[in-house]
Chain A
Amino acid sequence: MKKMGNEIKNIDGLEVVYKRPSTLLDVPFHYCPGCGHSVVHKVLMEVVEELGIQNDTIGVAPVGCSVFAYHYMDIDMQEAAHGRASAVATGIRRVLPDKYVFSYQGDGDLAAIGTAETIHAINRGENILMLFINNGIYGMTGGQMAPTSLLGQLTSTSPYGRESSSMGYPLKITDLIVNLPGAYYVTRQAVHTPNSVRKLKKAIKAAFEYQKLKKGTCFIEVVSNCPSGWKMTPKETINYLEEKMFPEYPLGDLKVPQKEPAAAVKPEPVPEEV
């Protein structure tokens, strides 16, 4: 892969106000133009950089378009078999109890083949962040139907549109797990506007801080798009998200811890001398 130039020249009178986080490797993404993965990767790695936890974070990248996340994220990572990210993350977390561990999973991984591992990791309250990228389709394998695909949605395995009698209903996995006592923080976010990106970043930051408390699983669903799979332009996918996906998967917090995490925000000691 060709390396992009990354020299930031200091030009008189101009200051750098935005750059790629140092925790993202200087490698072009393979994601399709307009795909939400690119934004989520960036936001996630910005948080890791800002919190200063690059040396203490391990990510799990299972099968899906984002299986190659370890080519982009400059942290220790493990690739996982399809559906098994929650179990792999559990294994890592149990032997490294003081590190930050996250899984980065698609809808097939988390809500089809990995349903048991997802539910049981949360049921045990594993102190990990599950980042669930829900775009209602299987992108990597060429656009097949996912458990989260909408009724009537055309995919390569529902060519006449998903119909409930033989193919079931869109699976709201987040609603299923929210009431498990092991689920500490559950929220549904998006990356379709600058405002939603900012909200996602806040959610991810909170999730990492909650990990220090060891009170359970943080679960962030990102309702995202798949221009290739949906057979739309990126701009059309934004409309589809707003008109079809968000009504099915409403954005917002589903479960928020009651108190502020006091341990995460220690006030600076007041100096004795003025």
Chain B
Amino acid sequence: MIENESLSREAGKGKPHQGNAVMKGETRLMKGNEALAEAAIRAGMDAYFGYPITPQSEILEYFTVEVPKRGGVVLQAESEVAAINMIYGAAGAGARVMTSSSSPGISLMQEGISYIASAELPCLLVNVMRGGPGLGTIQPSQGDYFQAVKGGGHGDYRLIVLAPSSVQEMADFVFDGFRLAEKYRNPAMILADGALGQMMEKVVLPEEGSLPKATPPWATTGKVNRKSNVITSLHIEPDKMEEINTYLQDKYRRMQDEIRFETVETDDADILLVAFGLSARICQKTLELAREKGMKVGLIRPITLYPFPSAAIAEAAAKTQFVLTVEMNAGQMVEDVRLAVNGKNPVYHKGRMGGIVPSPEEILTEIESILEKQQAEVEG
């Protein structure tokens, strides 16, 4: 891949990344990618298979420094295709495993993800999104919402999708991701973006070893005193395949128990902002600016993108004039917001594409322009 040339040259010089291993309770300044990696080690990750791609190569690099010191397996695979299949094998063998990539690399993993979902293997996937489509740019975006939430790979399956909006959440959601993946025997994905991956913030890291682990009874660890275990997604008889699909759909219904979201000043809001990840951070600032001007703006931030907090959004939107979805894409989560609101309020979309991060002010300008248009319609 042809990455940003000057970045590649920088990476070749000087020392390799030194791990920032910290003890429990200590607050440290860390880069998002590294906080995520450190959290994974503390969560008792057994193996990481990955491939370099900007803006998340630091995750792989961090593991190559730290894992040999603290136990486990780290392997730079020959491609993302190979990496996701190593994940499949290791997860099927009962290990707690993780991989990470960025948009084009996640596309390469889609076949493997579909297999993993069908075979019901727990694992943690991380997508540090960059601008696309195609080779795109290395700047942050939220353009893979559809891919993460609606499938991406072939067939009827769902991922558990968590959207962090801070370096703290980059670390915390690793624990949540492993826990949920293992609870539901389902792949979980942390859907982040290049800015979250690269930014440095204070983070309190979870305690090492605090996420319990047990070898699952279905894993291929060698059959001792039991029937042989088979990990497969091939069910050639249609009756059997339908049975499997029905089971998976029931599971996804049960997963609705895991809905998480955050609301900011939605109780008295006339205008509702809906945003996830970095966009939600920016909208929080917009909210402050708007309130200073006397506009009653509220924000709802989905934390789980699947399962999606439809009911919570509908409720927050109920008494508002309109809903504005802000995301760094051409309009993806807005479709789920429209479904949730179900025609009861107008839903607008504000997006930037190509790796551009919107400013709080431009979102405020958008709110004001919508208000003006609505006013004009009333008067006209």
Contact = CB atoms under 8 A, between A and B. Distances in A.
Contact of B82 (A54, A78, A117): A117
Nearest to A59: B220
Given A96-B93, A96-B222, A81 B86 contact: no
A52 B224 CA distance: 12
Contacts of B81: 84, 87, 116-117
A38 to B, nearest CB: 20
Interface of B: 46-47, 49, 73, 75, 77-79, 81-83, 85-95, 97, 111-112, 115, 119, 220-224, 228-234
A107 interface: no
B95 A95 contact: yes
A80 interface: yes
Interface string A90-112: 11111110010000000000000
A84 B85 contact: yes
Greatest chain B CB density within 10 A among A56, A67, A81 is at: A81
Interface string A58-99: 101000000110100111111111001001111111111001
Nearest to B95: A95
Nearest to A100: B222
A68 B235 CA distance: 10
A70 B232 CA distance: 9
Nearest to A68: B234
21 contacts: A55-B224, A56-B222, A57-B222, A70-B230, A77-B231, A79-B119, A79-B231, A79-B232, A84-B82, A84-B88, A87-B85, A88-B86, A90-B82, A91-B49, A91-B87, A91-B88, A91-B97, A92-B220, A95-B94, A116-B78, A120-B82
Contacts of A95: 46-47, 73, 90, 93-95, 97
A87 to B, nearest CB: 4
B228 A75 contact: yes
B40 to A, nearest CB: 15
Nearest to A90: B86
B118 to A, nearest CB: 10
Interface in A24-62: 54-58, 60
Contacts of B46: 95
Interface in A231-266: none
A75 B226 CA distance: 10
B85 A91 contact: yes
Nearest to B220: A76
Contact of B93 (A58, A70, A80): A58
Given A75-B222, A95-B46, A117-B85, 20 more contacts: A57-B222, A76-B229, A76-B230, A77-B220, A77-B229, A78-B231, A79-B234, A80-B85, A80-B88, A80-B89, A87-B83, A88-B85, A90-B82, A90-B86, A91-B93, A92-B89, A93-B89, A94-B75, A94-B86, A94-B90
Contacts of A67: 234
B153 to A, nearest CB: 11
Contact of A90 (B89, B228, B231): B89
A58 B220 CA distance: 7
Given A76-B223, A116-B79, A120-B78, A92 B233 contact: no
A218 B357 CA distance: 51
A96 B95 CA distance: 9
Given A94-B75, A96-B222, A81 B92 contact: no
Listed from nearest, the 8 A-B pairs whose CB atoms lie closest are A91-B89, A87-B85, A91-B86, A76-B220, A88-B89, A79-B232, A91-B90, A84-B85
Contact of A87 (B86, B94, B119, B228): B86
Contacts of A92: 89-90, 92-93, 220
Interface residues of A, number: 34
B127 to A, nearest CB: 20
B75 A90 contact: yes
A67 B82 CA distance: 19
B232 A78 contact: yes
B111 A81 contact: yes
A81 B47 CA distance: 20
Nearest to A53: B222
B158 to A, nearest CB: 20
B48 to A, nearest CB: 10
A117 B77 CA distance: 9
A84 to B, nearest CB: 4
Greatest chain A CB density within 10 A among B73, B79, B81 is at: B81
Contacts of A89: 89
Contacts of A120: 77-78, 82
Contacts of B49: 91
Contacts of B82: 84, 87, 90, 116-117, 120
Contact of A54 (B77, B223, B232): B223
Nearest to B236: A68
A99 B222 contact: yes
Greatest chain B CB density within 10 A among A55, A76, A96 is at: A76
A96 B232 CA distance: 19
B96 to A, nearest CB: 9
A225 B296 CA distance: 75
Nearest to B224: A55
A102 to B, nearest CB: 12
Contacts of A84: 81-82, 85, 88, 112
A92 B81 CA distance: 16
Nearest to A123: B78
B366 to A, nearest CB: 44
B89 A87 contact: yes
Contacts of A99: 221-222
B138 to A, nearest CB: 24
B221 A74 contact: no
Greatest chain A CB density within 10 A among B73, B78, B111, B229 is at: B78
A21 to B, nearest CB: 14
